[in-house]
Amino acid sequence: MNYSAKVMDHFSNPRNVGEITDANGVGEVGNPTCGDIMKMYLKIENNIIEDVKFKTFGCGAAIATSSIATEMIKGKTIDDALKLTNKAVVEALDGLPPVKVHCSVLAEQAVKSALADYYRRQGVDPEPLVGKLVEDCHDCCENGGCHA
């Protein structure tokens, strides 16, 4: 499987790995079919994502998409982070093999899950702001797509 230099760089040297102990938004998403799990931690102050960290259990593409997603939202407003799409993640990595695109979907969902948690902690219903979160990305992994 051919990966771009950016994917290999973010896999070999992932950015923003770890936990934020006083995070005010934490989201976890997983794909039970292929076993990828992403946990995203956000520290939000005055509507700005001051810090973001992640922990990912999964393949190289899952780690790379988590890493680039954190770079794409760090220092940005919540509104900007909500606009993050899996397509933008794939483009930022100079592409992913088709069987690995589901990893970018997980990265987008992890960010949205953490933002939804942030809103819940503020006493705000997240669904009108964040949208409905996909709990299971089974369709992404059909036909042996995940780790084939």
Catalytic residue numbers read 34, 103
CB within 8 A of 18, min separation 6: which ones?
41, 53, 54, 55
Closest CA to 16 of 111, 97, 117, 134: 111
Residue 122 φ/ψ region, left for φ over 0, alpha for ψ in the -120 to 50 degree band, beta for the rest: alpha
d(CA 126, CA 66): 22
d(CA 3, CA 20): 30
The residues pairing with 39 across neighbouring beta strands, listed in sequence order, are 28, 55
CA angle 26, 31, 32 (to 5 degrees): 120
